[in-house]
Amino acid sequence: MFKPENLPAPERSIRLRSLLQSRSKAWLLALLLGLATLLAAATLLALSGWFISAAALAGLASVGAYGFDYFRPAAIIRLCAIGRTAGRYAERLTSHYAALSLLKDLRVHSFSALAQQQHNNHHSADTLQHLVGDIDLLDQFPLKVVAPWLWACSLTLLVLLFWYLLAPPLLFAAAPCLLLALALPLLSVRHAKALALQDTDASTQRRRLLLEPLSMLTSLLLWQRWPDNISQFSVQDQACLNLQLRQQQLISRTALLQQSLLALSLLALLWQGNALVAANLLSVPLLLAAMLALWALYEVLLPLCQSFIALGLSSAARDRLNRLTDVSAPTPLNKPEPAAPFSLNVNRLSARQSGALVGPSQVSFTLQSGEVLLISGASGSGKTTLLQALANQLVFCGDITLNSLLYDEWQLSNTLAYLPQQTDLFDLTLAQNLRLAAPDATDAMLWQVLGDVALSNWAQSQPQQLDTVIGEYGAAVSGGQARRLALARLLLTQRPVLLLDEPFAGLDPATTAHMLNALLAHQRNGLLVIVSHQQLNVPHAKQLQL
Amino acid sequence: MPCGWSLKATKARTSKLTSSGQPAQQLAILLQSQRIRLNSALLLAVSASLLFILQCYLLASLFAGWLITSQQGLPVNSDQLLNSLPWLVLCLLGRPALQYWREQLSLQASQHIRSSLRVQLLAKLADAGPAKNQYGNDGSLSSKLLEQVDALDGFISRYYVQRYLVLITPLLLVAATFVYSPLAAVILLITAPLVPLFMILLGNAAATASQRQLQQLSRMSGRFLDLVRGMATLQQLQATERAGQSVANAAGRYRDSSMNVLKLAFLSSAVLEFFSALAIALLALYLGLGLLGILPWAKEVIPVPYQGALFILLLAPEFYAPLRQLGSDYHAKAQAEAAIDGLSPILQRQAWQHPGTQQLTLNSAPDIELQQLHILTAGQRQRLAPVSLSINSGGRIALQGPSGCGKSSLLHALLGFVPYQGDILINRHPLTRLERNHWQQQLGYMAQYSSIAAASIAANLRLAAPDATDQQLITALQQVELWPLIQQLPLGLNTVLGERGRGLSGGQLQRLALAQLLLRDAKVWLLDEPTAHLDGATAYRLHQLIGTLSQGKTLIIVSHQLHGLGWLDNIMRLSNPAINPAVNPVEGAQYVQA
């Protein structure tokens, strides 16, 4: 639940309080500018009221036309008018600059937090989409919670002070209702937060109830099961909409009560003002100014009603973000790196992918530098799982020792190279994609590895060659090409242990032979493990059948 | 039986402030059903404005009374306050109450519109059947149905009423001002049209700029998502720091370009602020100097007496309030237009109703004959070149051809989801005369990704056959050779699978889908690349299994790979209509002996 202060928050987790700290100067400027703007608006209204009343009084006395100093109020009125406009403009620019900077910081922060996680391949695209949305929600905290409250409190204070200076009884009469109106939104805190939490859960549930039938639409239609699946979704959708409605209603009701309290405060002010004017303790123009100052507060207090919904949303977003980017204790980096020659010894290894029902069990083998291991087996027999365990990407039972030491005792990040079945190419150019592995690689080296995976002809036929953009916005590469590019990138890392999952799937025999020879040459002094359903012709290779 | 259909091409969205293009029209159509609620909300808002005018009048009279009494040195008593008190209470408490009910009505309207829009969209998608993916993958479809529909909320619940209010309220206020001072009314009227004028000028520039900024935003999110998705790879390559730098650069660039846009965008609201502040200042000076009798053109004359002056001054801020509100709600409109733009391809899908009513119950595998079957896309492009072929009862054939040649469309036509030209005859009955639901119940269909839900194995099988007994399920699982595996699991048939069948391999999932097919006892099997994502060995074994299990069924399989399909009676190659548009029907389909 929402209690950031009581949470033993991990070092890198996000707190709402600290959102303002990273760009504190920009936020401070924005808050001050906003305050000045609102003050100018209130002054403009109150001073204008006082001005025409005082002018009327002077005009009636018909002396004032000459004795009444109208230059100063007129100048202040013009100043306030300009100040209000310029202040609002500057405030918006500064606060948005600060908010955008905050989003930048948050993105970088979440990215590096995710980068420190050990096994993060369980995040679905959907989760990540939400991550982006949650980051965008966090700027609501400074913009919709902190700023409105700061402005409302300071302005209320100034108005109360103004009343006190005019006549203390005025303050005593009108202040209680005004303070109640200010504090009223606090009553909705608990409810608003609960609603925001429910909202998150209900939307997740709703998405699930839609995605599943949608993914099996045709079958469900044929089986006549679409209507009942969709009616389940509709019930959940209705629940979500009702929840949204309840949030809105909470805002509306708070606003209704707040405005009514302000109305009562206004009436109290008038009632007390009447008595003060009757007793000649207060002039009518000043009473009008007192009333108009209160009037100006309406606009300042109203945003408070929805501030707690925003708070609930951003704290829910913060919790999700922290859960997702939760970092386990970083592993110390002072372990030794293994050196050639290599000897890999696997003893009674068993592993399961999370959620999998089966996996490889009790596998044992040894492999020396220069040797090749070919793993084959039926689909579902756990070839991929075994390879992931070898790549140190999966928790396993049993022992894997490299050069007589357990995996845990080595720093392996520069030793193991693993090519999964699902590879990732990024929205970058071909060269940039390859250079992720080796930032300093020359063009010649890039062409060399492209040749190794039989893609140099393809790359040469692209109009922009190495600068061809790959991915969503660029040239599409086929699944097979993408995997070969990923392999080329892996070769650039020059790591001694190469673990490849189905590197030749969908290739013709000639290309397979070419790539296989290049790989064998590349790994002359290292270890090569290949999972393949094809029969590969490698003399002296060790075979493992799962 | 020609079933031509057409669909208007969606115009590219114009993002001008004043445009009343397609999105705006579609939004208007959506709002039709809730017009009563929305118009009542508008009525309440107008009543609130009237109450405001009354409130200003009461306060102005009250203060004028006090001012004159105290000026004349008479004792101020509370009679005047007491007299106007009931009315004042009515105004002060009535306005928030009206505002509250206005919000309630708008919210209800929004809720109804959104939930009925979802129902409508789902119906269109169900109508499209397997062709639904022309509108996006399941993830993007679900975000269209959820987020994009919800993005209409602001437009319905705020913008719609505000759009009218922005005209009505200022006119009411000007009329009230005119009673006391025509000149003040003129000041307001002169500044008012300037505001929309500036807003249009700046708004247009800002709208195009913000369009560009939106693209940038999606690029930035895209870059972020792209890199986070590939985090495992980046970690492997030890490239996370460089990638993090790239995220920082993209976000920094986005911030700087946004600031350029915002400078312009905020200018339009600054103009509003300026006019609002200027008008109040001008009015205060004019009225104040007038009350002093020192206006240059009206010396020693009081053009507007105090009560009227105060009344006008109190009204003035409210004159601009609806415009300012509209300005801040403007993004709700832009959001809604973008959303409806994304939804319009689905909404505008022209419903094709399978016309038949005849019920044809198949007791054995039927023969299927296609005569000059020809399918056009929505844009009248050729999707499937005319094809003629006949399959005997129990015949099993494969369709092959380059991607885009219409293999899947042919299956979709047989399923009854797609209109076509030419004839499909089932046991010599035209398909279009058959009742679609009844026909579909007798079909077995399997695609690249199986229809497996996050539920137990038994529940998944019972999706296809609700009344099947455990023994029937086990028999089916034995037939697809999954039972030995499932038997070993501690929970057996009640083992719960993860999302999209997580826990089983791709080949095992397709076997489970085959078990679903067997439980339906369908006489016709239509298989759309059931092994496309499987590796060669697994695909081979699945093909063999399909061969064993589909004996005695009429079967059409679309497949790129042919190994393991030796049991087929025929293989048919389709040519690509896009490559060879003027294809001769005879050449379009030729038989190749398996």
pLDDT in tens, B369-383: 888 888 887 667 777
B-chain residues near A74 (CB < 8 A) = 285, 288
Which of B96, B255, B454 shows the shortest C-beta gap to A256? B96
State whether A142 and A38 are in the same domain. Answer: yes
Per the model's pLDDT, the better-predicted residue between B88 and A544 turns out to be: B88
**Cα B120 to Cα B99: distance, rounded to the nearest angstrom:** 31
State whether B347 and B441 are in the same domain. Answer: no
Query: pLDDT band at residue B39, thresholds of 50, 70 and 90?
Result: very high
For chain A, what percentages of helix, strand and coil (3-state, to nearest 5) are there? 65, 10, 30
Closest residue in B to A271 (Cα–Cα): B81
Distance (Å) from the alpha carbon of A143 to chain B's nearest alpha carbon: 15
**Cα B441 to Cα B436: distance, rounded to the nearest angstrom:** 9
ipTM value, please give it.
Answer: 0.79
* 3-state secondary structure (DSSP) of residue B168: helix
Cα B314 to Cα B62, B68, B167, B224: the distances in Å are 13, 19, 19, 51
State whether A302 and A370 are in the same domain. Answer: no
pLDDT greater than 50 at residue B415: yes
B-chain residues near A219 (CB < 8 A) = 445, 451, 463-464, 516
State whether B347 and B411 are in the same domain. Answer: no
Return the CATH number at B554: 3.40.50.300
**Cα B96 to Cα B48: distance, rounded to the nearest angstrom:** 8
Question: Considering the domain boundaries, does residue B162 fall inside one?
Answer: yes
pLDDT greater than 50 at residue B12: no
Closest residue in B to A287 (Cα–Cα): B63
Q: Do B498 and A355 touch (CB under 8 A)?
A: yes
Length of chain B: 594
Q: What is the pTM of this model?
A: 0.77
- Give me the half-sphere count of Cα atoms (radius 13 Å) on the Cβ side of residue B442: 21
State whether B345 and B460 are in the same domain. Answer: no
Average pLDDT (B180-206) is 73
Average pLDDT (B89-100) is 92
Question: Considering the domain boundaries, does residue A330 fall inside one?
Answer: no
State whether B336 and B478 are in the same domain. Answer: no
Per the model's pLDDT, the better-predicted residue between B206 and B122 turns out to be: B122
State whether A319 and A354 are in the same domain. Answer: no
Distance (Å) from the alpha carbon of A106 to chain B's nearest alpha carbon: 10
**Cα B346 to Cα B10: distance, rounded to the nearest angstrom:** 11
What pLDDT does residue A342 have? 76
What percent of chain B stands above pLDDT 90? 11
State whether B581 and B438 are in the same domain. Answer: yes
Question: Considering the domain boundaries, does residue B14 fall inside one?
Answer: no
Question: Considering the domain boundaries, does residue A8 fall inside one?
Answer: no
Q: Do A427 and B441 touch (CB under 8 A)?
A: no
What pLDDT does residue B591 have? 36
Interface test with B, best of A357, A419, A490, A501 (most B CBs within 10 A): A357
Question: Considering the domain boundaries, does residue A451 fall inside one?
Answer: yes
What pLDDT does residue A156 have? 95
Last residue of a domain, one of A260, A294, A324: A324
What pLDDT does residue A372 have? 80
State whether A165 and A269 are in the same domain. Answer: yes
Say whether the peptide bond before residue A341 is cis (omega within 30 degrees of 0): yes
State whether A282 and A352 are in the same domain. Answer: no
State whether B411 and B438 are in the same domain. Answer: yes
State whether A482 and A371 are in the same domain. Answer: yes
State whether A318 and A210 are in the same domain. Answer: yes
B-chain residues near A222 (CB < 8 A) = 415, 440-441, 443, 445
Which of A93, A96, A210 shows the shortest C-beta gap to B145? A210
Question: Considering the domain boundaries, does residue A536 fall inside one?
Answer: yes
Closest residue in B to A256 (Cα–Cα): B96
State whether A312 and A366 are in the same domain. Answer: no
For A283, the token pair is 């002039």
Number of domain units in chain A: 2
State whether B93 and B168 are in the same domain. Answer: yes
Cα A425 to Cα A474, B72, B526: the distances in Å are 11, 87, 35
State whether B344 and B437 are in the same domain. Answer: no
Query: pLDDT band at residue B52, thresholds of 50, 70 and 90?
Result: very high
Cα A281 to Cα A159, A167, A288, A507, B221: the distances in Å are 19, 8, 14, 97, 63
Which of B119, B464, B507 shows the shortest C-beta gap to A379? B507
pLDDT greater than 50 at residue B145: yes
State whether A289 and A350 are in the same domain. Answer: no
What pLDDT does residue A471 have? 62
Average pLDDT (B552-576) is 83
pLDDT greater than 60 at residue B13: no
Q: Do B537 and A378 touch (CB under 8 A)?
A: yes
Return the CATH number at A33: 1.20.1560.10
Question: Considering the domain boundaries, does residue A202 fall inside one?
Answer: yes
Interface test with B, best of A143, A221, A250, A384 (most B CBs within 10 A): A221
Question: Considering the domain boundaries, does residue B216 fall inside one?
Answer: no
Q: Given CB atoms, is B141 within the 8 Å cutoff of chain A?
A: yes
Question: Considering the domain boundaries, does residue B262 fall inside one?
Answer: no
State whether A268 and A393 are in the same domain. Answer: no
State whether A287 and A148 are in the same domain. Answer: yes
Last residue of a domain, one of A260, A290, A324: A324
Per the model's pLDDT, the better-predicted residue between B554 and B574 turns out to be: B554
B51 lies in which domain range? 20-177+331-351
B-chain residues near A121 (CB < 8 A) = 231-232
Question: Considering the domain boundaries, does residue B460 fall inside one?
Answer: yes
State whether B67 and B173 are in the same domain. Answer: yes
Last residue of a domain, one of A324, A351, A383: A324
Question: Considering the domain boundaries, does residue A309 fall inside one?
Answer: yes
State whether A362 and A294 are in the same domain. Answer: no
Last residue of a domain, one of B298, B322, B351: B351
> Which one-letter DSSP state was computed for residue A454?
T
In sequence order, what are the beta bridge partners of A343? A368
Closest residue in B to A420 (Cα–Cα): B233
Listed as ranges, residues in chain A with pLDDT below 50 are 1-11, 64, 121, 473-474
Return the CATH number at A510: 3.40.50.300
pLDDT tens-digit series, residues B466-512: 888 889 888 888 888 888 888 888 888 888 887 666 777 778 888 88
Q: Where does residue B316 rank: exposed (0-12), middle (13-18), buried (19+ CB within 10 A)?
A: buried
A474 lies in which domain range? 343-545
Question: Considering the domain boundaries, does residue B550 fall inside one?
Answer: yes
Q: Given CB atoms, is B232 within the 8 Å cutoff of chain A?
A: yes
State whether B88 and B169 are in the same domain. Answer: yes
Question: Considering the domain boundaries, does residue B377 fall inside one?
Answer: yes
State whether B344 and B400 are in the same domain. Answer: no
Q: Do A70 and B292 touch (CB under 8 A)?
A: yes
Question: Considering the domain boundaries, does residue B224 fall inside one?
Answer: no
Residue B587 CA, chain-centre distance (Å), reads 43
State whether B416 and B531 are in the same domain. Answer: yes
B-chain residues near A270 (CB < 8 A) = 62, 81, 88
Number of domain units in chain B: 2
- Residues 37-76 of chain B with CB under 8 A from chain A are 59, 62-63, 66-68, 70-71, 75-76
Which of B125, B240, B503 shows the shortest C-beta gap to A115? B240
What pLDDT does residue B11 have? 32
Q: Given CB atoms, is B294 within the 8 Å cutoff of chain A?
A: yes
pLDDT greater than 80 at residue B265: no
What pLDDT does residue A292 have? 92
pLDDT greater than 90 at residue B56: yes
